[in-house]
Amino acid sequence: MSGNWESMLNRLFFVGAFVLLALAILERIVNAFGYTLILGSFRPGRLIEFSAILLLFVTVLILRQVRDQLKSRAA
C-alpha cells in the first residue's frame, strides 16, 4: 500500500516541478515586457530552484523504490 502513495507523491512532485518551471519561464518572458504574473513575490530564478528541489525529491523517491524492489528480489 505504501508503494501506491509513494508513486502518487512522485507524480505530484514531478508535475509540480514542471508547473513551476513553466511558470518561471512564462514569468521571465512577461518580465521582459515590463509586467508580472506573480506580483513580485518570487523571481523566476527562485521558482527554478524550487523546481529543482522537487525534482531532487522525485529522484530520491524513485531510487528508494528501485532499492526496495532489488531487496525484495534478492530475498
What pLDDT, in 10s, does the model give residues 22-64?
999 999 999 899 888 887 677 888 999 999 999 999 999 999 9
**Torsion region of 36: left, alpha or beta (phi above 0 gives left; psi -120 to 50 gives alpha):** beta
Q: What is the value of pTM for the model shown?
A: 0.81
Close Cβ partners of 25 (under 8 Å, ≥ 6 residues apart): 44
Close Cβ partners of 65 (under 8 Å, ≥ 6 residues apart): 3, 6, 7
On the question of pLDDT at 1 being above 50, the answer is no
The H or E element containing residue 49 is helix 44-74
pLDDT of residue 24: 93
Q: Which three cell numbers stand for residue 19?
A: 508547473
pLDDT of residue 13: 93
Amino acid at 45: G
Amino acid at 29: I
